[in-house]
Amino acid sequence: MFSLTRTDGHVISTDPARLDLDRVHRWLSTDAYWALGRDRETVVRAFAGSLPFGVYRPGDGRQVAVARVVTDGATFAWLCDVYVDRPGRGHGLGGWLAASVRDHLTELGVRRILLCTNDAHEVYARAGFTPLDVPERWMQLDRRPPVTPITGKEQSGGSPLTVEA
């Protein structure tokens, strides 16, 4: 297991036993645009099949951030579900987390780490991430059901949500 302590006492750990999955589920399902409405069982399964990185504050050890890495541990990794608790933002925890994930995966020999972000490009750029050079070479199969923009819940087969002014 990987563990690293920052000068201010925050700790990053890949120990899955330290994860507060109730807290992680709440963060992702209610405040992370990419995971709104995600059920707890999906969060538990996703983290069980991934390399988890938790960030814990000094003193009480309460979890304040999380990241999940899907990887073969040798050649490829997908960094996802990166979340810093709102009160903990603005203190460099997200950048430290991204750089620590990068460094740990590099030590394992992983040469390609991908991620997708809608709004944190600067954070990841400081950790050395760059836009894809040739995005037209990449393809995807996305089987996620459509999600309503207001609730983040999957749409049922009914009529689309409309809002009148």
> Using only C-alpha atoms, what is the Rg of the chain?
17
pLDDT at 146: 76
Distances (CA, A) of 158 to 70, 114, 149: 35, 36, 15
pLDDT at 133: 84
Residue listed under structure tokens 């938790």: 54
pLDDT in tens, 9-18: 999 999 999 9
pLDDT in tens, 45-75: 999 999 999 999 999 999 999 999 999 999 9
For the domain 3-137, what is the CATH code? Answer: 3.40.630.30
Q: What's the length of the chain?
A: 165
pLDDT at 152: 60
Please say if the pLDDT value at position 78 is more than 90. yes
pLDDT in tens, 26-50: 999 999 999 999 999 999 999 999 9
Enumerate the domain spans of the chain: 3-137
Task: Report d(CA 165, CA 162) in Å as an integer.
Answer: 10
Contacts of 5 (CB under 8 A, 6+ apart): 11, 12
Residue 151: pLDDT band with limits 50, 70, 90: low
* pTM as predicted: 0.85
Q: Cα angle vertex 76, ends 18, 86, to 5°?
A: 40
Residue 148: pLDDT band with limits 50, 70, 90: low
For 96, what's the count of Cα atoms within 13 Å in the CB-facing half-sphere? 24
pLDDT at 136: 86
